[in-house]
Amino acid sequence: MKPSKLCFALINLLLLGIVSRASEPPQTNKPFPQHAIYTKNTIKPNHKTQQQLDADVAMVYERWKKNYLTEDIGTKGLYYIKYQKEAGKPVTVSEAHGYGMVTMVYMAGADKDAKTYFDGMYHFFKAHPSNGNPKLMNWQQSIKNGKVVSVGGSCATDGDMDIAYALLLADQQWGSKGEINYKAEALTIINALKASILHSRFRTLKMGDWASQEGSRINDGTRPSDFMLQHMKAYKNASQDAVWDTVETNTYKIVNYIFNTYSPNTGLMPDFAEYKNGNFVPANGQLLEDPNDGSYSYNSARTPWRIATDYLTTGDNRAQKQLTTLNSWIKKNSSENPSQIYSGYRLDGTVLNNRTYQDLTYQAPFLVSAMIDNGNQQWVNKLWDNAVNNHNSYFGDSITMLCLITASGNWWIP
């Protein structure tokens, strides 16, 4: 019996359906926007509707993606976040990679290609292992002979912490039964962090896997911008390893010791801290980068966002006094004008080296810290508009992107 024309038609429709389904974007379990519930009595910008806040985030995301997301010229389908445009100079760092991977997961749904970019960034991460611990990422890459190659030697703690967190998010967003087992890969990095960036004596964060000779000033140092306290909770939940509870507790102790002893009137954190006489204290002169390592500069500018995110999303109030002091000081110091937030301060609040220029790196993180108190509502609204309406460079723009995701209520936790 010959198949009827109706049978052929049904077969064709079925095949078309299969093709159509295959070309659809991957299913996202938590598509943007998510509107997470934050800690009671915390606030978001209220001069715009939630829909307008989400639209602002989506607009800034498209601008950020256009300016910085880059396909590897040597390997099609691999992606990185371009942090420098100068010819012959390094093009990206692991810190940028972490920012990019976290952003892609949170914006999935708003961007149908987010998973493609995320997976490409994961493969880029795998292609550039650290010489210290190959489960972590080499901290810097450059273009040589038409290829992107690693030019750094070891890892930087913050990049790998964000990458591990992004993979935990990806497991929740897309599941781990596809090409990449996101959950397993996250746990691999979390275990590598435990092995290579935790001080064996102090159970605190080192600055990278290169800090292998504990006991020296630089190897025992720590960087407050790495204090991703909510990440640590996520690591504990995923791995069931109590060491992350210990690290979190010790990290909060460092924050509060520095605050109470060195910045009681400002709440500012230093770029770097060193171990001295039983405590971590602001670096005395140059520890890793320059003579201002003990001041609030380009590293610690991220701390208002990093520390406050834990309070907003989990209610952990161990740094509430420090954050409250920080918010009160910056409001008064800037006369509640975001353009009067300057680009570096000593811990006593004086402007660092006449740095009176503006940079979103310093302005956007105060948007997140201000959210902890409903007395900051008008200040939050001003900071939101400043963050949305300005952009300048990879560093400030990438930090702003993540701060806007948080401030709009879209920073859900795995």
Catalytic residue numbers, as ranges: 95, 158
Kindly give, in sequence order, each residue whose CB lies less than 8 Å from that of residue 93, ignoring residues fewer than 6 positions away: 83, 139, 140, 141, 152, 156, 159
CA angle centred on 109, ends 94 and 307, rounded to 5°: 45
Tell me the angle at which helices 182-196 and 229-239 cross, rounded to the nearest 10 degrees: 110
Q: Can you give the C-alpha Rg of the chain in angstroms?
A: 22
As to burial, measured by CB atoms within 10 angstroms (0-12 exposed, 13-18 middle, 19+ buried), residue 179 is exposed
Buried b (16+ CB within 10 A) or exposed e, 226-252: bbbbbbbbbbbebbebeebebbbebbb
Q: Is the dihedral of CA 38, 41, 44, 48 positive or negative?
A: positive
C-alpha to C-alpha distance for 170 and 115, rounded to whole angstroms:
9
